[in-house]
Amino acid sequence: MTDMLRGWRILLVGGSGGIGAAVAQALLAEGVDELITAPSVPQARADRLRTEHVDLSNLASVEALAQRLADVPLNAVINCAGVNGNRRLFEGDWVARVRREMEVNYFGMLNLAAAFGPALAARPGGRFMTLLSFLSHVNLPAMASYCASKAAAHSVLQALRAEWAAAGVTVCGVYPTAVDTSMSKGLTGTKQSPQELAREMVQALVDGKETLYPGEAAGAIRGYLADPLHMQLRMLG
């Protein structure tokens, strides 16, 4: 264990998934003073770990969590929550699927920002980090509505950066390509491990970065910026 996060108190939302659980373990390994997770993190045990419950898609639930944590001087909020229906746009019960993806991936992040923004702004050097996707920039038709929800979250993250600039809150978007979790089990090709991604996220948090393109995403974003249309055509298969 190192002490890179000594003195930090962090709220991690979405810690039960593959990436979130890896982030929780990385935060604990780097010496975070207090880690609050919602929901619980599988196999994570530490006296510095506290578990809460929240329905991220419900603003009242998120505001209630903020009230319960009102006495905790949070240094950072990390959002790893996300859902992916893994369907083409109009496949199956598409209306319910699209709404669910937007409720969690877009409105969930917005609810978290609205409820915890004041607390982060009240302390010097507050951090707000959210896990997005390289697919925030381009649409993969096999998971079209997921991509759309991440694009919406990417856009509002830019607005949050402007809203909180005067208060000194650092807003960081994380844009990985494929990560080796259940969400990407149908994808082929190279996948970054959740543990490697988590280490990069923790370092970006400490460094105060505003964007993180981890692993192969660093090269992918250069290709996208050089020729966005070509990248989108590649996604069409």
Q: Which H or E run contains 59?
A: helix 59-68
Condensed to tens digits (0 to 9), the pLDDT of residues 68-125 reads 999 999 999 999 999 999 999 999 999 999 999 999 999 999 999 999 999 999 988 9
What range defines the domain where residue 61 resides?
Answer: 9-235
Within a domain: residue 3? no
Banded pLDDT at 31 (limits 50, 70, 90): very high
- The one-letter code for the residue type at 118 is P
Other CB atoms within 10 Å distance of the CB of residue 201:
25
Residue 1 has pLDDT above 70, yes or no: no
Residue 202 lies in a domain: yes
Spatial separation of the C-alpha atoms in residues 163 and 168, rounded to whole Å:
10
The verdict on residue 2 lying in a domain is no
Q: What is the pTM of this model?
A: 0.94
DSSP code at position 142: G
Cα separation values, 152 from 49, 56, 62, 74, 135, Å? 32, 16, 20, 26, 11
Mean pLDDT of 42-51: 78
Within-domain flag for 152: yes
Query: So what's the pLDDT on residue 181?
Result: 81
Task: Please give the share of the chain, as a percent, with pLDDT higher than 70.
Answer: 95
| Count: domains in the chain | 1
Which burial class, exposed, middle or buried, applies to 108 when counting CB atoms under 10 A from its CB (0-12, 13-18, 19+)? buried
CATH number at residue 202: 3.40.50.720
In a domain, 164, yes or no: yes
